[in-house]
Amino acid sequence: MTKPVHPAPFSVTQLAELFQQFYGTAQQAIGKCVSQSYQALASKKPRSGTPTTQMLSKAEMVQKKRDRKLLEIRRIALEEAIEKRVTEGVYDKIWRPRSTEDEARDDSLHSKIAALKVVGVNLGHLGVELDSEEKAKLVDNELQEAIKALAAMNEKKYPLGKLLLLKQAHKAIVGMFSFVP
């Protein structure tokens, strides 16, 4: 029988500290990678035989600025990729442990929502009065986009994915109000 790596479970504070240490180490490695990329870009640029005190031309300044922006985008993409991989790997263990009844509660809530739909609960029952049946159908269609985006959040196991879906739902809801007087 193998011996466990950690004899006792971590406390929340210890776990948070381990994550922060990991992210600190990852950020340093990414910074080093990006700076090496920047140095590699700089070394590929043709240099003239003139002294280094010569001022850069406008085109060279624009290119340097463009290179820095591209490297910053690369740094952010690397950080997001690492965060996605880490959070997807530990998501079920942290947010959906087997010892909880979250999944059963979710299923119960979904069945209650489905029952309300079958009974025919609509916006009018919730105090939202629309002056025509056509507007009510339009609002229902617009809400379907937001509902789908919010439901899809269960599938994403990393912060950026959830945030993008939340923004999509928000956009659908805000767009809905442009149709409702």
Residue 89's nearest CA partner among 13, 30, 22, 33 is 22
Cα end-to-end distance, the chain, whole Å: 68
Q: How far apart are CA 142 and CA 162, in angstroms?
A: 20
Dihedral sign (CA 64, 66, 68, 70)? negative
Residue 161's nearest CA partner among 94, 87, 89 is 87
Helix residue ranges per DSSP H, the chain: 12-44, 58-95, 102-119, 133-152, 159-177
CA distances from 15 to 6, 24, 90, 97 (A): 12, 14, 12, 15
Per-residue pLDDT of the chain (181 residues; tens, 9 = 90+): 566 666 777 788 888 898 899 989 999 999 898 888 877 776 766 555 555 567 878 888 888 888 889 889 988 999 999 989 988 888 877 776 666 676 777 778 778 877 877 877 766 666 777 777 777 777 777 788 888 888 888 889 888 899 999 999 898 888 776 655 5
pTM summary value: 0.57
